A and B are shown apart, each in its own frame.
With several copies, the nearest count.
Chain A
């Protein structure tokens, strides 16, 4: 439990709350838009490169293969059952967009979760980053497919452009800027020699947490703004935004347990399953399902699920992981003692 609070009274997390508080107090604080985009690309580049380097070190083995396989599977299955749950109360468009969000992942949640291991010897493998990269896009395709299947209106006008549209949707799903930077950096990290790793170390290592703090401040600001839109979304959707991560994390836990994932990988896999996308998916949905209301699917992912995961989810998933893999805690403590010096 200590090691959990440990992460709570230390940057970057408190900056998220600073952002929310600033907005709720009607401060005019804002992070310039291009800076948000820069830091977001920076974080993806850093995490991708780091993951590639680690993947290179570990090589391809059964654990890696299992992680990647189940990551893709979850990215396909989660949006399916999410859609059928959501369809009971929402229009097919909104249900599909929200389902796609939850099937995809949140890179910032993933990165914040990595913090739990920053002083630890046990670390998640590079395959977790690869898993994240692979989980970004499939849910978008599933979401669009469900939407096409279940919406009733204007089939006439729609059918004649559905073919050209699908090319567009694949483009949005797999060629979205953030997917490209994450995957590209992963590949660059994978092919990089030691020289390259040394070269990038200060950029992706030293200033990483500071940049993440800054980004979380911005996330807090945006979440603060979006909170108001939640009234529009309604109780059902808010409950979904809190319960769904728990359901998905549980399934993630079972897979990780049955497949004998390492402790850190188990934790990160739960985080991936539990997190919802508020960057890549909304960008794709605007094009692919224009009828869906971004005033619903963005605030749920950003102002409900993201903070829920940060505040309650991560500690919970970590706690559960500890029950199965007590060594991650011990190692973390050792590492801290080794660093702090007593």
Chain B
């Protein structure tokens, strides 16, 4: 399995999803995947997912890319995540199929 890539997974407040994707788009990140209904618990308390009162729901964004691109993505998301809370992790993977 050639084609080593990095997988970045971001979990943050749902309210910030629009900003996060704008950031990725503006920086020409070629692809990402979003899951909108994500709950959880962290240092900022319980996100039990009740939509109407805002601030209790997360989103999940995954970016698969080369190691250099991963560095760029890490850099651009850090300030936003510092502001919005949440977390991001990176791990190794390989393409099976990619257009």
In the complex, A touching B, CB below 8 Å? yes
Task: Check B34 for interface membership: any CB of A closer than 8 A.
Answer: no
B13 touches A222 (CB 8 A): no
B52 touches A36 (CB 8 A): yes
B51 touches A290 (CB 8 A): no
Since A286-B54, A294-B54 are in contact, a sample of 15 more A-B pairs with Cβ atoms closer than 8 Å, ordered by chain A residue number, is A33-B37, A33-B49, A33-B51, A33-B57, A278-B52, A278-B53, A283-B55, A285-B54, A286-B84, A287-B15, A287-B16, A287-B19, A290-B83, A295-B44, A295-B45
What is the CA–CA distance of A141 and B22 in the complex, to the nearest angstrom?
A: 24
A residues within 8 A CB of B37?
33
A290 touches B45 (CB 8 A): no
Residues 1-39 of chain B, each 1 if its beta carbon lies under 8 Å from chain A, else 0: 000000000000101101100000000000000000100
Task: Check B67 for interface membership: any CB of A closer than 8 A.
Answer: no
A residues within 8 A CB of B57?
33
A37 touches B52 (CB 8 A): yes
A302 touches B53 (CB 8 A): yes
Residue in contact with A294 in the complex, picked from B18, B56, B83, CB distance below 8 Å = B56
Interface size in chain B (residues, C-beta < 8 A): 22
Task: Check B85 for interface membership: any CB of A closer than 8 A.
Answer: yes
12 contacts between A and B (CB under 8 A): A33-B57, A34-B51, A40-B52, A222-B52, A278-B52, A282-B54, A283-B15, A287-B16, A290-B84, A294-B45, A298-B53, A298-B56
Q: Which chain B residue has the least Cβ–Cβ distance from A281?
A: B54
Q: Which chain A residue has the least Cβ–Cβ distance from B14?
A: A286
* A-binding residues in B (CB < 8 A): 13, 15-16, 18-19, 37, 44-46, 48-57, 83-85
What is the CA–CA distance of A218 and B85 in the complex, to the nearest angstrom?
A: 27
B residues within 8 A CB of A37?
51-52
Residue in contact with B55 in the complex, picked from A28, A33, A282, CB distance below 8 Å = A282
What is the CA–CA distance of A225 and B49 in the complex, to the nearest angstrom?
A: 11
Task: Check A279 for interface membership: any CB of B closer than 8 A.
Answer: yes
* Given A28-B18, A295-B45, CB of A279 within 8 Å of CB of B84: no
Distance from B19 Cβ to chain A, minimum over Cβ atoms (Å): 8
* Given A36-B51, A279-B52, A279-B53, CB of A286 within 8 Å of CB of B13: yes
Interface set, chain A 26-76, CB cutoff 8 A to B: 28, 33-34, 36-37, 40
* B-binding residues in A (CB < 8 A): 28, 33-34, 36-37, 40, 218, 222, 225, 229, 278-279, 282-287, 290, 293-295, 298, 302
* Given A229-B45, A285-B55, A298-B56, CB of A290 within 8 Å of CB of B50: no
A294 touches B51 (CB 8 A): no
B residues within 8 A CB of A28?
18
What is the CA–CA distance of A284 and B49 in the complex, to the nearest angstrom?
A: 17
B55 touches A286 (CB 8 A): yes
A residues within 8 A CB of B84?
286, 290
What is the CA–CA distance of A34 and B54 in the complex, to the nearest angstrom?
A: 13
A residues within 8 A CB of B51?
33-34, 36-37
Distance from B11 Cβ to chain A, minimum over Cβ atoms (Å): 15
Give the one of B37, B44, B50, B56 with max A CB within 10 A: B50
Residue in contact with B50 in the complex, picked from A33, A229, A287, A293, CB distance below 8 Å = A33
Distance from A247 Cβ to chain B, minimum over Cβ atoms (Å): 24
Distance from A304 Cβ to chain B, minimum over Cβ atoms (Å): 14
A225 touches B45 (CB 8 A): no
A residues within 8 A CB of B46?
229
What is the CA–CA distance of A271 and B47 in the complex, to the nearest angstrom?
A: 30
Give the one of A218, A229, A294 with max B CB within 10 A: A294
B residues within 8 A CB of A40?
52
What is the CA–CA distance of A104 and B74 in the complex, to the nearest angstrom?
A: 38
What is the CA–CA distance of A285 and B53 in the complex, to the nearest angstrom?
A: 11
Give 4 nearest A-B pairs by CB, closest first. A283-B54, A294-B55, A282-B54, A286-B15
B residues within 8 A CB of A279?
52-54
A222 touches B53 (CB 8 A): yes
Distance from B17 Cβ to chain A, minimum over Cβ atoms (Å): 10
